[in-house]
Structures are given as structure tokens and as C-alpha cells.
Amino acid sequence: MAVTWRWGVALLWLAPAGMAFQSPGSDGVGVAARVKREPRSIPGEAPRAELRVDASLVEVPVHVTTFQGQAVTNLKPENFRVLEDGVEQKITYFTRDDAPLSVGLLFDASGSMQNKIGKSAEASAAFVKTSNPQDEFFLIEFSDKPKLAVPFSMNPEAIYKRIARMRPFGRTALLDAIHMALLQMKNAKNLRKAIVIVSDGGDNRSRYTAGEVKEGMLESDVQLYAMGIFDWPALRSVKRLPVEERNGPRLLDELAEETGGRHYPVEELDDLPSISERISRDLRNEYVIGYSPSNAARDGKYRRIQLEVAGGEKLKADYRHGYYAPAQ
């Protein structure tokens, strides 16, 4: 039976997480193994034969924009080039996908969010209003520690109502919240997964380290998106903030880039709802590129992916930069 790995999308509303890390890929398969689906090929090609029993298909969701940030939705397979560990791969599957999503919303409920809850709740409403009927959501709120406020549900209204009732207090356990979200994603029903974070500060409470969480993200099949509602004037005057808060934007940048997601810094609270809608569009305007790796070794090693895109102008591609091969 063909084994298919697929990277999903992780929508993280800026959250912190901590504790001794239990990686989501603890079974040795870095990108989760999927049940066999009907083989799909590039439109216009003759139907291809079933993959061999020991074959694999790596599927890479890709979001392409101009450097002005506008989504590019008219590309074809020949506009893409994929390399794995420096070796070019043959693209055997290509589509634009609007499949159902499994989304984890990570919402900062620390004391510093007191005056930002209103606009943040509006942003969450704007996001869930664009959902498909088959989408499912869970909500983690975090302050001194993360809490699963709403388990997986296909009722987005439950998410919005819970956020609207939040009473901010305490500090910020961002990394612990991300760790909890990765564990929850093991129960996701959909192939595409996303974590979205909304937060106004860096981590100052978690037990998990940034390195542990980054390793967990690399082994997971989710993409991370974040809205950072930071105190930008204070960040630009670095002596006014502790180091964990100064490092908050950089941490989100690194996590989002590595998973193929994106961090959207929020300069004005009034921009939150429009940024939220933009993240939703990003998730629903993705290409999915598939290839069978030329390196068939089942060695459990990390494989680095490089994707090049050309379309008549300079384009920017957000995609996951690698995966762990299955182990014997």
C-alpha cells in the first residue's frame, strides 16, 4: 500500500508552551503516515500506475505571493522546481486545494491582553466565519499555563463565544501552549492542519524550551501562523523590556517559516480582523505539490526541501522546509 505524508497548516494565535517534550512524531515517522488514497496526477497526464508497496508520496502545501503580499493563484506545475537534499525531484501531483482544515486556535489570555480582548475576539470571529462546513476547530487559552478551552468541534461559534468571555490574568506560557496544540492535533480528522496564535508577548512562563518545541514542530505535519500584538515602541527601545519579550517576534518568525506558515506582526489593533481574514485566505489559496523521493532509504533522517518558483516576476513561496523520513 502506498504511504502518503502530507504537511498540514497550523494556525497559531500567538501562544506559549512548556514541559518535557513529547514529540508528536514519536513513532519514528516524522511526517505522519496516511491511509492510501486514489492516486492523483498532474492534470492532462495519463493516469499513472499505482505506487509500489514500498513507495511514498511527499505532499508539500505551498502558498505563493508577490512581494507586495498578493496571492498568486494561476501557476502551473512547470512554474515549480523541487529539490530534496539538493537533488531535483519529479513532480507527480499538483493541485490547488481547498480541502477541510483541522485548526487549533491558541489565544493569549495573560494579563497584558486586558485591553486587547475586544479586537482579538473580532479577529477570531472574522477567521471562523470563512470556514468550510467540514472544518474542525479547537481552542487553547494560555496565561500561566495552557488550557484546552474547547476540544475539537465543527461549531466555530463555540470558539468565538469562549474568547468573548475570557478574563485575562497572569503571565505567558506560549511554548507550553504550542506543545499542547501539537498533542491535540494527533486527534485531527482532516489531512490539512493548522495552528494559529494570537498573543501580545514573548514566553515568560513555559517549562518547555524553544528548542524542544521547534523539534516537535519539525516532526509534526502542521503549519503555524501567528498574529503578534507586540508593544512595538518598547521593542524598538530594547532596554525597556525583558529578554523573553524582546525575543517574542523572532521566535514566531522562526516557527512560522520552518513550518511553511507565516507570522503577521500587528501594528494597530484595528488591523486584527483584516489580518485574520488574510490568514484564512492564505490557508485556502494553497498549491499542493507531490513527489516520490528519489532517496527511498527508510533511515528516519531529516530531509531538507528547497522549492523554487517562477512566474514572470519575483514571487515569494511559503512552504515547509523539510520532513523526517520513515524509519524501519
Q: What is the pTM of this model?
A: 0.75
Tell whether 195 is covered by a domain. Answer: yes
Whether 291 shows a pLDDT value over 90: the answer reads yes
- Specify the higher pLDDT residue, 54 or 199: 199
Tell whether 323 is covered by a domain. Answer: no
Tell whether 30 is covered by a domain. Answer: no
Nearest C-alpha neighbor of 293 from the set 41, 43, 83, 48: 83
Whether 81 shows a pLDDT value over 90: the answer reads yes
- The whole-number pLDDT of residue 44 equals 41
Distances (CA, A) of 118 to 51, 94, 164, 174, 309: 51, 41, 7, 20, 40
- The pLDDT tens digits of the residues spanning 86-120 come to 999 999 999 986 788 999 999 999 998 988 888 88
Other CB atoms within 10 A of residue 187 CB: 11
- The pLDDT tens digits of the residues spanning 13-26 come to 333 333 333 433 33
Domain coverage including residue 233: 9-25+98-287
Tell whether 115 is covered by a domain. Answer: yes
* Least confident segment among 82-91, 138-147, 178-187, 193-202: 193-202
Residue with cell 503549519: 223
Cα–Cα dist 309/296, whole Å: 25
- The whole-number pLDDT of residue 234 equals 65
Rg (CA), the chain: 19
Q: What percent of the chain has pLDDT over 90?
A: 45
Nearest C-alpha neighbor of 298 from the set 260, 328, 270: 328
Provide the residue type at 158 as one letter.
A
- The whole-number pLDDT of residue 242 equals 66
Residues 6+ apart with CB under 8 A from 209: 18, 21, 175
CATH number of 138's domain: 3.40.50.410
Residue 307: burial class (beta carbons within 10 Å; 0-12, 13-18, 19+) = buried
Tell whether 113 is covered by a domain. Answer: yes
Cα–Cα dist 269/159, whole Å: 20
Contact (Cβ atoms closer than 8 angstroms) between residue 135 and residue 101:
yes
- The whole-number pLDDT of residue 34 equals 33
- The whole-number pLDDT of residue 241 equals 67
Give the relative orientation of helices 272-284 and 117-128 as an angle to the nearest 10 degrees. 30
- Specify the higher pLDDT residue, 314 or 136: 136
Provide the residue type at 12 as one letter.
L
Nearest C-alpha neighbor of 215 from the set 328, 327, 324, 140: 324
Other CB atoms within 10 A of residue 114 CB: 12
Give 247's pLDDT tier (boundaries 50, 70, 90): confident
DSSP 138-155: EEEEESSSEEEEEEEES-
Tell whether 176 is covered by a domain. Answer: yes
What is the overall mean pLDDT for the chain? 81
Whether 196 shows a pLDDT value over 50: the answer reads yes
Tell whether 218 is covered by a domain. Answer: yes
Per the structure, the count of domains in the chain is: 1
Whether 1 shows a pLDDT value over 60: the answer reads no
Tell whether 110 is covered by a domain. Answer: yes
- The whole-number pLDDT of residue 244 equals 67
Nearest C-alpha neighbor of 216 from the set 186, 250, 249, 239: 186
